[in-house]
Structure 1
């Protein structure tokens, strides 16, 4: 298509969409003056206009107008525009075909650094493939996407975000709760949760909360509890999930049992929670043990098994199994003395602290500083007395 055909298309578009006349005139002016950056900005701003975002308009606008000068544009910004166009296709397969065409054009344009826009586009293709049930292709794209991301420097946040977003959806489809949890947190690290629509924000907050509870080897909830995405649960029918996470974070068995009783109907409406009831009990019991150890001064971490039994509501035999499980998960390090029925803990896994936990840590640190100062004064006085 030559430039004359591009301008002719704009004239035809203005006739069929008179409400867009001002914008179309601006497109034509910037196009004729070859002001590609300004034209890109104008197109990006227009994407939020409902009349322009209409599938009947936008899909043809790309093929009849943008495609003419696509090689002149910043490739990553072009990729963002192309994805918006792809989302207008009602058939996901048509979206895949369209984006693959954009990828081919981008490769043929021989830009200096096409890796990031290509990765951005390929991950969106993978997202549509997942929707189509093309699982083999999606899995390959997810694996290759992570490898590509790890090999890049100075990555645009939008590229990192889409890689982790699509990975999270792949793991959600596979019911891999732990990997979904990790990928979702990484996704949230590259976006502002405030930019998400309210329904999407709530859906993600619910999914990531459930994944935290159900994920293997997820024993740290502080990062999630401190994240702004959790505000979406407040006032929603899923507000109980935050209480559940806080109970797990504190290893509070009494709070957990109370929540299970109070919100029984809500819990029973979540099949994954019902199916993993025993796993949840084991997990919060491990967290109860970790919280007990964490709150003890280092010099008092030789703990009677009977004290752990009382705290965790287990028999002494149950405590021994609990300790072996926790040791095998490398959540703590220590030695069980079966003769004395004690455990000597030398290390407990570090974790992200909530504000409440940080305040408790500060209080213990202040107490330690006070003891050090007192000991220092005693040693100084003894030294002076010895000299005298």
Structure 2
């Protein structure tokens, strides 16, 4: 079968997410399965060219996987055999690199947030559209097994009228002194594009918009609960970005969503993120992989009585939603969609404008927190 090579400039794959999820579990996994079937019967074969600032790290990865690499982004974009630019850098470096890729005529697929502001994100979306280039933003949580099961319930009418969504996300990120931090230090410096609102509100936007309804307003409170941390070199630094955010989002149709995001909480949940959806006909709790439901007919009738111990096994009264299919890695699934979008022009709704709306929600969430008020979300054009 004919192999159709698609060169991908992958910038930022020396980081944990860029390496593990995008390179190893997506692009290299597609190669391990023999490529991706294209509409003409050929196999789409991704050919990554690794780009980054550390010669040592790139050389190690390239040698381990037998790939090409360079520290010169301009040289990688100038190659005739590269067709797609992918960005998983720190947020503050993303916009400039994407502009270079557009100028070089490359299709662009990028991690979120697209840029650091709504205005610059809109400008990028207009620029790449004017150039006629394919574009997409990573929205990986839509492809998680738990949320795909939740989408199945929504499409099947399980909930009746959806009333509310309650989300809990987070875990304790160590300060970096007596135990190494699980996240890079730039996440806690505002000047480098850090902050949990900038990181997580774009996720919540696409989850809410694409599963439930468009977001119409945001009310947010943010905090920097841990003011001092220790970086990768062992140096103490001041955390200038928010590490926790508490948001209320009003959606079309009267749905109210409340989502807590925190890197300063200890987990007492089944999964690191969980969403409870309540509707007139039933409720569900969905995480990364699992989803449990309770229908209207099987809902118990608790009575509040603080004088007696609780005897009802509430968790046992929920039913597990079956898989009913094999779930592949969510990052890989969206990569396959984007590769087909580039090669076969198949639809890809997760474009730059979807990314712009996520940036807008984060930006207005910060406005809400700063000014202590509810902020309506205007339409973007």
TM range (shorter): under 0.3
Compute the TM-score of the two structures, normalised by the length of structure 1.
0.25
- Judging by fraction of residues, say which structure has more strand: 2
- Structure with more relative contact order (C-alpha pairs < 8 Å, separation 6 or more): 2
